Structure 1
Amino acid sequence: MRIPVATYRIQFNSQFPFNSAKEITNYLAELGISELYASPIFQARAGSSHGYDIVDPNQLNVELGTQEDFVALVEDLKKYNIGWLQDIVPNHMAYDSQNKYLMDILENGGNSSYTNYFDISWNSPFASSQEPILAPLLGQFYGDCLEKGEIQLQYDQSGLSVNYYSLKLPVNLESYAIFLSRNLGELARTLGRKHPIFVRLLGVLYMVKNFPQDTHPNQRQDQIDFVKGLLWELYTDNTEVKTFIDDNLKLFNGEPGKPESFNSLDNLLSQQFYRLSYWKVGAEEINYRRFFTVNELISVKIEELKVFKNTHELICSLVKAGHFTGLRIDHIDGLYNPTQYLERLKEQVDDTYICVEKILQPREDLPGNWPVQGTTGYDFLNYVNGIFCKTENEEAFTQAYYNITGWKTPYEQTEKDKKHLILERNLAGDVDNLAYLLRKISSKYRYGNDFTINGLKRALAEILTRFPIYRTYIDQDGITDNDRTYTQDVIEQAKAHLPFLNNELNFIEKLLLLEYDDSLTEAEKEQWLYFVMRLQQYTGPLMAKGAEDTALYVYNRFVSLNEVGGKPDQFGITKAEFDEFNQARQSRWQYAMNATSTHDTKRGEDIRARLNVLSEIPEEWESQVKKFSEINRTLKSRTDKKNVMPDANDEYLFYQMLIGALPFVEHEYEDFYTRLKDYLLKAIREAKVHTAWLRQNSIYENAFIDFASRVLEPSDSNQFLQEFIPFQKQIAYYGIFNSLSQTLIKITSPGFPDFYQGTELWDFSMVDPDNRRPVDFELRRDYLKKIKEKSQTDILQLIEELLASKEDGRVKLFLIVQALKVRTTYVDVFQDGQYLPLEVEGQFKDHIVAFAMVHNNQSTITIVPRFLTGLIQPGQYPLGTQVWNDTAIKLPSEVSSAWTDAITGQTVKADKQLLVGDVLQYFPVALLTNNPGK
């Protein structure tokens, strides 16, 4: 198995295709990257900016280049010994006209070859329904769209289709009779009933009306193609038939302003295997499983072996061909049976590196029976971020939040409230489906016969909202001790809150724990298990939408902690907790990914590094925010004395993001202000307090954006900017050192480092789509070339130059290059070595994080500073004994006494301890390597 040394995440799209990646392979090699980590490259919806809306997993995306372009990129990577870690999407595909599997179902219904490909109500073994598949893709109510003429019937060689802007849905062949029967008499009078053309058309109509329903899907498709071919031939070869069909199209498509003129099209649509509807309908009534709450992404029944094999045919062939050297599994928690999926995948790709996108809560671990090498690193992200948040200042920071905003609801309650909100507004239809299935099960037992749908829905809602993790993994093999504990704790909490539903909750607990009665048949046991595994598929989306995409935009106490997989109410972690996490990771998941920025993070890694500085100075922060608010008080909008926009909580978020994301250079301010306002609009919609995606409040949105525009108006008289900029620059200065520390820890901790595109320089990106902006690789290539050249002549002079111009980000790039050299040279140490926490002594012991990696006779030591506002003034550097005084690192007996700092090239001597001031003489962080035998 090829284990990555370091990965570099690329977001492929039409603006950055295979050929663009080929242009940077040499750069990645020079940087020290071992694996290109690619976003999905399979055929996606036209114009996709991210690739997760796949329409055909067995074709490369034509917008990224040709097969030859792809192979050329692979071969170029191999030339530099760079592997390819591919992101794959087993959970869902796009609900799109280009999705041939789905379109076949929408055209043929239960007679389709692909009926069991998607997670729709038709495929439920115990609560199936043949009602039309919902197509909640309209921008307004169905009736409005219809009568405005936005839904149009069209005809081409592929047959009749229903069109709504770019959406094109097929018409089932049986309903062609409705269309062809209209005005047939007029055509008969024009051609004559015995005219050969008219007789042929009658033959087509007869075949349509008498189309066999019990044929094999392949035979059915052959017959459909035959009938469509005959009709197309008549259309293209005969003027009268063409006119007949074109006139019927015009008739069916109606005339805006005349509602009755759309009756024919309405009738035709009612005969389809799908039901067009307003997109908001999907929030309350849904009969297919989606990715989270995204109507345009329909979930795949990957648990069906045929579906698995078909959708993974290209993926597995590219692995076997050596083009892919590793796989990253997207949204593993969405699958019906994740363990089964991973086992099947492992059988196909054998000894190939696999990591999963799995969000772990603090102290949660991956299932031990998964045949994977680890996660994509959100757990690491939150731990490394936590050690730069000063835990002892939590009370002061919480008080500041309350004093400024009046907010006093604990995060735990906020998260639960927002999960309930999501259930009510976005997942109501999904909960309905679970409740009906549960009612069907409970009605078979005397102790469940009186349960009502309403009571079961309330009980399910309470259970779903209280799960503290993304999901459990109960399956046909039973239940683990951890999952049993989580489930029992949730039920007990639900009982305490809803005592009048204890009977329902007792029954649900019995189901979730698979406590089968002796009287149950095998079929009934299967039904219980099916319900449990279905329910598990919804705790993840609820956590993602309720916590990640709502609560994290509402609870703004300290937004550095508001990250995917994070707990904002956990105000940082101790060094001991970080060491414990790394030791556990090294023992079980030493090949996992270490991430600090991804395409899904809420804010860039260097924004968090800056914001963490505020945790050191809560009193000063509170004082500054009060000044900012007072200065900007008159810039707010008011509808009355009480209704002020934006509210204090949103204003508090605004100041934090401004602190964290403001560029170093003034000429970038204008573009940043535009990006910031886009972010703010997304943030308040995600928060769902004053506005939301489903119910946009333009008054509040405009008021907030207008406020931001006034606050950021560049002028000599702008009192806010005069007060804000000096304070922000001070925070940004200290943030640089946090960033360097964070970067080195990522590279040298157990696991391997992942670099999101462009983050080798300062990363002040905000949430997507801001973090998918194009990357200036030409600038980075130029920086890297000069850094490598100068490091060969006088590295200390280079360091002095980099620190003097640290705002351009080259100092971060330099650190990455130097540290990745060590990572490559000492690959066994980092992949298989022992993690040793190092004890720090002296006056500033709490300001240093240090640990060693030891393997055989080789060792490395990582030393980074933190909490520097109390040690140095802005403009000073955390270097030398004049700063660090007697602060020293105790060395364990198993490590060497002779060291070289791989970053500066300087030799360091030690006798049972390292003086921090001696080690950090020239650069703010250090990575020591031992010299065996010296």
Structure 2
Amino acid sequence: MTSDRPDLAVPTATYRLQLQPDFPFAAAAAAVPYLASLGVSHLHLSPVLEAVPGSAHGYDVVDHARVREELGGEEGLRALAATARGHGLGLVVDIVPNHMAMVPRHNRALWEVLREGPGSPYARWFDIDWDAQGGQVLLPVLGRPVGEELGHLVVDGDVLRYHDHAFPLREGTGDLPLPRLLDAQWYRPVWWRLARTELNYRRFFSISELIGVRVEDPEVFDATHGKILQLLHEGVVDGLRIDHPDGLADPDGYLRRLHEATGGRWTVVEKILSDGERLPASWPVAGTTGYDALRHIDGLFTDPAGAGELAGLYRRFAAPQTDRGGNWPATARRAAYKVLTHELAAETDRLTRVAARLCAGSADPALRDRAPWALRTALEELLVRLRVYRPYASGDAAAVVTEEAAEEARRAFVVPEEGEAVDLVRGLLLGPAGVDAVLAEFRARFAQTASALRAKSVEDTAFYRYVPLLSATEVGGEPGRRGVSPQDFHAYCARVQRDWPVTGTVVSTHDTKRSADVRAALAVLTECPERWAALLAELTPEAGAAVPDGQLAWAAWQTVFGLGPADTERVQQALLKHVREAGLYTSWTEQEPPYEEAVAAFVAAGPCGAPGERVAAFRDVLRAHIRANVLGTALVHLTMPGVPDLYQGTEGEYRALVDPDNRRPVRFPPEPCAAHGDELGEDDKGDKGDKVTLTAAALRLRARRPEVFGAGAAYAPLPAEGTAADHCLAFTRSGRVVTAVTRLSLRLAEAGGWGETRLPLPPGRWADVLDPGREFEGHVRVADLFAPLPVALLERAGEG
């Protein structure tokens, strides 16, 4: 890859900052000296382009041509870049190609489309089905059906207003009576509940406030990427993170065009790889943002046998007799059906219409006489059986839409002949590309719908329904796989070093449901499942409030165990989001106040009440083992193949729950705060210091020895020898650095400790990076290596 600044072409480590009005460019610039001293090479900024005023995240872009004024504008961004350069740091920026905010008064391009309709020069920007809804864009903004809201729809000159919404009026319609005026527009304001089934524009997942953008169109690409490319070419920005490429019609083509436009700058994509899935080799990117690494790292510190036992105990404690949530494959499949027929019903309808149009217009008689209901059923049955996010033009679609899935899908049809619709749909997806525009649209929409379905059904629904181990239900996670063996981890790292050596790696992000340190604590429960279940059996009756349901209770107790002592409202908000996402007894759109009130009462009286003190005491008993997982996770992440991305504040112990809990501004240098444990005890504060010291030492080593960790480096397992060998995970980087960590330390202690287990070091003397006065050589006793800390980072002596 090339860069105008060769020293910043590829990061050695990045540090993610969540920009928002309360943490603008100036605040980021003030943090630069500290972050440079920490040892990172680049700041990783959340989206910097103009967004909806007040946005706390920036993914709701309204203008691609301007840097966000609330953050300090382009002048502020350039000043931040100059400050960063002065301290040897570069900038990596998060960009959002898939969608924009559906807020016409701030989104000028959308405003023009709503005013001028399909004849607007901006109409090609947005993925709107003008053939549906009578040629009007459906705007689901009304609080009630339109007949009950007419009194709130007010004409103000050439603008139609509804509370804080504003829409342009089509020329010459301003003097019409209100009902006729509404009919005369290129859009139709409707009751928000119609979005589920009637929407005629592509959106981000099921979020109607974010409208899909057609960056597959070269003119749209140029218009929406011009400012970012200017900042790249002028040296203000050095690399890119691409948000949600799976939502695009043609990720392959988009990434090729972007690579050419950037001159090959370091770019990673937010691509969530399922277990066993590989990133398309043809993509001209450095790799992913790192959720595949997160899954493998977390798995290292999870005891497979204990996780299985915990799942059985969970089913007895929590899962209903109907098994809603007691079995992972069944839970995921059931959630997928629910999402397709509810949240994504409009998207499924549109895909069915395209399939029906394709069949009706085909010259092939075999495609004729296909009922839309049969096509829809075939599409639904295939979609719910995909094991990855979506097929790609550069990949083998048959490996995604498999014959096994087709065979299962056919069983949904009572009449076998009608089941032929499955083979017809699969044939359309797998056949030659050709030049048929409708076929191309069908394949693109199938892939886009599949992507939205996977995200909504697995990560946003099933992960909240299947909760035996909360740390396994993480973005990119695979709850059905219990743990990762050292052998599997080493094989994964070898592949990364060979195929994607400068890919991104993460353990905490702005999207993780729990920070790495919370998950590290939860993983310890797989080493003592019976003790945990026995504790819960005692505590739940003591809660003093009715248990809303067993699944919620199990998740709530795990939440406070992982988080540690915390403010009641903070936990209540996280669990309110949990039950709404699960959608079993309440949801975001069909809220059940009595149930939600019962959840809040239970959390206050139980997990955050007097019984919760016993959970805290149990956590304290296990503190040494939690510490081993926290430090082990951090060190493996910082020294394995790839470019580690640190989320803000995570250089110290950082305990956070799902957003918005994990998106609060942090102070620099970070101090204990509400986002990462203002209730830390004295022992915990010592552990936090351990993590800061370890993180800084590893980052500075990477910065000082980039050749040891980068694209030309090597990775090799370093097996321990002895009865406790499986509890030591060790590897070398380029024969110059050794990483060793303790895994499953509670099981280790119960088995009698390290004994005479030894780690054979490569030839030569090895200095402890954390304590340079300590040196080792030969076959070192693991008990001696891990005497001060449960982890060790060694560098060949004389080379530091």
TM-score by length of 1: 0.80
1:926 alignment partner, SS class = strand
Cα distance in 1 for partners of 2:144, 2:527 equals 50
Amino acid at match of 2:618: F
Give the counterpart of 1:909 among 754, 763, 776: 776
How far apart are 1:846 and its partner, in Å?
1.7
Give the counterpart of 2:738 among 861, 871, 889: 861
Q: Could you tell me which residue of structure 1 aligns to residue 37 of structure 2?
A: 30
Q: Could you tell me which residue of structure 2 aligns to residue 195 of structure 1?
A: none
Give the counterpart of 1:58 among 65, 73, 76: 65
The answer (yes or no) to whether the contact 2:560–2:612 under 8 Å persists in 1 is no
- Describe how 1:600-679 pairs up with structure 2 within 5 A: 600-632=511-543, 634-636=544-546, 645-663=547-565, 669=566, 672-679=567-574
1:176 alignment partner, SS class = coil
- Describe how 1:527-542 pairs up with structure 2 within 5 A: 527-542=438-453
- Describe how 1:708-723 pairs up with structure 2 within 5 A: 708-711=603-606, 718=610, 720-723=611-614
How far apart are 1:284 and its partner, in Å?
0.8
1:635 alignment partner, SS class = coil
How far apart are 1:481 and its partner, in Å?
3.6
2:491 alignment partner, SS class = helix
2:57 alignment partner, SS class = coil
Give the counterpart of 1:703 among 598, 609, 614: 598
Give the counterpart of 1:470 among 378, 386, 389: 389
**Which protein shows a greater Rg?**
1
- Describe how 1:803-842 pairs up with structure 2 within 5 A: 806-807=685-686, 809-831=688-710, 832-842=712-722
**Structure 1 residue 301 and structure 2 residue 214: aligned?**
yes
Q: Could you tell me which residue of structure 1 aligns to residue 107 of structure 2?
A: 99
Identify which range, 305-314 or 809-818, moves more after superposition: 809-818
**Structure 1 residue 928 and structure 2 residue 794: aligned?**
yes
Amino acid at match of 2:763: S
1:153 alignment partner, SS class = strand
- Describe how 1:79-90 pairs up with structure 2 within 5 A: 79-90=86-97
The answer (yes or no) to whether the contact 2:50–2:67 under 8 Å persists in 1 is yes
Cα distance in 1 for partners of 2:399, 2:744 equals 41
Per the alignment, do residues 140 and 759 of structure 1 end up closer, same or farther by CA in structure 2, a change over 3 Å counting? farther
Amino acid at match of 1:657: T
Cα-Cα RMSD: 2.2
- Describe how 1:268-287 pairs up with structure 2 within 5 A: 268-287=181-200
- Describe how 1:716-795 pairs up with structure 2 within 5 A: 718=610, 720-780=611-671
Give the counterpart of 2:492 among 581, 590, 593: 581
- Describe how 1:1-40 pairs up with structure 2 within 5 A: 1=2, 2-40=9-47
**Structure 1 residue 142 and structure 2 residue 149: aligned?**
no
Q: Could you tell me which residue of structure 1 aligns to residue 678 of structure 2?
A: none
Q: Could you tell me which residue of structure 2 aligns to residue 237 of structure 1?
A: none
Per the alignment, do residues 781 and 930 of structure 1 end up closer, same or farther by CA in structure 2, a change over 3 Å counting? farther
Cα distance in 1 for partners of 2:672, 2:516 equals 21
Amino acid at match of 1:675: R
Cα distance in 2 for partners of 1:538, 1:135 equals 20
2:441 alignment partner, SS class = helix
The answer (yes or no) to whether the contact 1:316–1:349 under 8 Å persists in 2 is yes
The answer (yes or no) to whether the contact 2:259–2:284 under 8 Å persists in 1 is yes
Q: Could you tell me which residue of structure 2 aligns to residue 173 of structure 1?
A: 171
Amino acid at match of 2:138: L
Amino acid at match of 1:108: E
How far apart are 1:347 and its partner, in Å?
1.2
The answer (yes or no) to whether the contact 2:354–2:441 under 8 Å persists in 1 is no
Q: Deviations over 1:498-527 (max 9, x none)?
A: 4634210111111011158xxxxx66x332
Q: Could you tell me which residue of structure 2 aligns to residue 235 of structure 1?
A: none
Amino acid at match of 2:615: F
Q: Where does the alignment leave 5 or more consecutive residues of structure 2 unmatched?
A: 3-8, 674-680
Amino acid at match of 1:426: E
Cα distance in 2 for partners of 1:350, 1:92 equals 24
2:376 alignment partner, SS class = helix
Give the counterpart of 1:547 among 446, 449, 458: 458
Cα distance in 2 for partners of 1:29, 1:933 equals 23
How far apart are 1:779 and its partner, in Å?
4.4
Cα distance in 1 for partners of 2:280, 2:459 equals 22
How far apart are 1:756 and its partner, in Å?
0.6
How far apart are 1:22 and its partner, in Å?
0.9
1:297 alignment partner, SS class = strand
Cα distance in 2 for partners of 1:804, 1:47 equals 39
- Describe how 1:212-361 pairs up with structure 2 within 5 A: 264-361=177-274
Amino acid at match of 1:56: D
Cα distance in 1 for partners of 2:474, 2:693 equals 27
How far apart are 1:692 and its partner, in Å?
0.5
2:209 alignment partner, SS class = strand
Per the alignment, do residues 377 and 5 of structure 1 end up closer, same or farther by CA in structure 2, a change over 3 Å counting? same
Cα distance in 2 for partners of 1:15, 1:933 equals 44
Per the alignment, do residues 486 and 507 of structure 1 end up closer, same or farther by CA in structure 2, a change over 3 Å counting? closer
Cα distance in 2 for partners of 1:39, 1:488 equals 41
Q: Could you tell me which residue of structure 2 aligns to residue 453 of structure 1?
A: 372
How far apart are 1:922 and its partner, in Å?
2.2
The answer (yes or no) to whether the contact 1:279–1:295 under 8 Å persists in 2 is no
Give the counterpart of 1:569 among 480, 489, 493: 480
Q: Could you tell me which residue of structure 1 aligns to residue 755 of structure 2?
A: 885
Q: Could you tell me which residue of structure 2 aligns to residue 230 of structure 1?
A: none
Amino acid at match of 1:154: D
The answer (yes or no) to whether the contact 1:303–1:336 under 8 Å persists in 2 is yes
1:809 alignment partner, SS class = helix
**Structure 1 residue 493 and structure 2 residue 408: aligned?**
yes
Cα distance in 2 for partners of 1:618, 1:805 equals 24
Per the alignment, do residues 808 and 902 of structure 1 end up closer, same or farther by CA in structure 2, a change over 3 Å counting? closer
Cα distance in 2 for partners of 1:41, 1:294 equals 21
The answer (yes or no) to whether the contact 1:609–1:739 under 8 Å persists in 2 is yes
1:612 alignment partner, SS class = helix
Per the alignment, do residues 713 and 548 of structure 1 end up closer, same or farther by CA in structure 2, a change over 3 Å counting? closer
Aligned residue-pair number: 776
Per the alignment, do residues 417 and 23 of structure 1 end up closer, same or farther by CA in structure 2, a change over 3 Å counting? same
TM-score by length of 2: 0.94
Per the alignment, do residues 676 and 872 of structure 1 end up closer, same or farther by CA in structure 2, a change over 3 Å counting? same
Cα distance in 2 for partners of 1:406, 1:437 equals 40
Q: Where does the alignment leave 5 or more consecutive residues of structure 1 unmatched?
A: 179-263, 517-521, 637-644, 664-668, 783-801
Q: Deviations over 1:381-408 (max 9, x none)?
A: 0100001000122332122112211454
The answer (yes or no) to whether the contact 1:473–1:483 under 8 Å persists in 2 is no
The answer (yes or no) to whether the contact 2:113–2:122 under 8 Å persists in 1 is yes
Identity of aligned residues (%): 34
How far apart are 1:111 and its partner, in Å?
2.3
Cα distance in 2 for partners of 1:484, 1:713 equals 47
Give the counterpart of 2:582 among 678, 687, 693: 687
Identify which range, 694-703 or 730-739, moves more after superposition: 730-739
Give the counterpart of 1:899 among 741, 752, 766: 766
Cα distance in 2 for partners of 1:88, 1:570 equals 32
1:355 alignment partner, SS class = strand
How far apart are 1:896 and its partner, in Å?
3.0
Amino acid at match of 1:543: R
How far apart are 1:722 and its partner, in Å?
4.7
Cα distance in 2 for partners of 1:273, 1:731 equals 62
Per the alignment, do residues 764 and 559 of structure 1 end up closer, same or farther by CA in structure 2, a change over 3 Å counting? same
Cα distance in 2 for partners of 1:284, 1:437 equals 16
Q: Deviations over 1:667-690 (max 9, x none)?
A: xx3xx2111000111100000000
1:84 alignment partner, SS class = strand
Amino acid at match of 1:354: T
Q: Deviations over 1:691-738 (max 9, x none)?
A: 001100111001111111222565xxx3x2453331122234421220
1:360 alignment partner, SS class = coil
How far apart are 1:625 and its partner, in Å?
1.2
Per the alignment, do residues 66 and 437 of structure 1 end up closer, same or farther by CA in structure 2, a change over 3 Å counting? closer
The answer (yes or no) to whether the contact 2:560–2:608 under 8 Å persists in 1 is no
Cα distance in 2 for partners of 1:402, 1:17 equals 47
Q: Could you tell me which residue of structure 2 aligns to residue 796 of structure 1?
A: none
Cα distance in 2 for partners of 1:529, 1:713 equals 54
Q: Could you tell me which residue of structure 2 aligns to residue 642 of structure 1?
A: none
